[in-house]
Structure 1
Amino acid sequence: MEGGNEKFKPQRKILIATDGSEASEKAADFGIETLRFEGAKVYAVYVIDTGSYGSVPIDEKKFKKIEQLEEIGHKATSYVEEKAKAA
């Protein structure tokens, strides 16, 4: 950068972490709205820490909990996807 005259380059990619909460939905809305005019590509991520569920083999109760978390994650990332497409 010479003399601080380098032009600002808008972000073309945004990663939105979500947990499905109202707060994360508001953050997603803000991020998408902020960059919608820039044509940015939006990525959503939901992380499940399966370490607390032990190792293989896992019992039926733990397996069902992981399935529930996966469903929550799918809904949370789908929310971000729908909002981004609508922007």
Structure 2
Amino acid sequence: KKRFPALGLAYEAIKAGGVMPVVLNAADEIAVDAFLQKEIRFTDITGIVETAMDCVGAFKSQSDRDLNAILEADREARERAREIVKKVRSRH
């Protein structure tokens, strides 16, 4: 977990269940895209994903069998991740 923090986040998302894996994936896609656009550093990705997961923690109890819950979790995670990217970018 210390050497590969992103893997630790994946285990946390699985353990939390519900739509948290969706939240992790959505936030990761936004963070990786920001890195590829040279907006953030590679080492910022995990922190952005972790913070987005914390912000969207209310979705832990949402069922992963409800399409509306999945789509809402994805949208919310992407929105939060974009906000976090802006904050991280302003610090560099």
Normalising by structure 1, what TM-score?
Answer: 0.37
Structure with the higher fraction of residues in strand conformation: 1
Structure richer in helix, relative to its length:
2
Q: Which has the larger radius of gyration?
A: 1
TM-score (norm 2): 0.35
